[in-house]
Amino acid sequence: MWVGVSVGGLIAALMVAGYSPEELYNVIKNPEDLLGDHDARKVMVESLLQKRGFSPTVTLRDFAAATKKTLILVATSLNRGGPVYLSHMTAPDTTVVDAACATSAIPLYFPPVSFDGDTFVDGCISDPYPVDIACITRPTLGIRIKDSAHPGMCGASVLGVGSHVGPCLTEWK
């Protein structure tokens, strides 16, 4: 089971698709290229999925069937005012791209993402460390990145998070 929130959700989705930590590090070296542009982020995720043989419109249901892995991405529903756990069980017809963009829609950096009659922003707002979801079935390793410049805020700085995630990916083998 892979559970991800915010940039961790993007990383989780792409690792389930078959990307290595080194490959993802090369993708996120320059996260400022994606700031404020939902279309650039969406195109990037679509392109990376296609390079691994997935349709850019692959649903969470079909992704789970193809990879034999459960992916749960946390987004914050503006309509419901709380976390939504997007997976093949809860949102089977949602595309992986929409779910990945929703979990990482950091306010002020990216616009909200709308699909299925709901509007979503970054999952860190409502559930920044969704370890309870992952712990349901087996022992869990969680990685939480804390920005010392903004204590208590998850994803306070996309560039700061990117600079922390990159070294973690290169050291994790």
Q: Which residues are catalytic?
A: 6, 122
Angle CA 111–112–117, to nearest 5? 145
State how far the Cα of 103 lies from the Cα of 75, in Å rounded to an integer: 4
- Which residue, 58, 54, 114, 61, is CA-closest to 87? 61
Q: Residue 76 has which token pair?
A: 């914050």
CA atoms within 13 A on the CB side of 69: 15
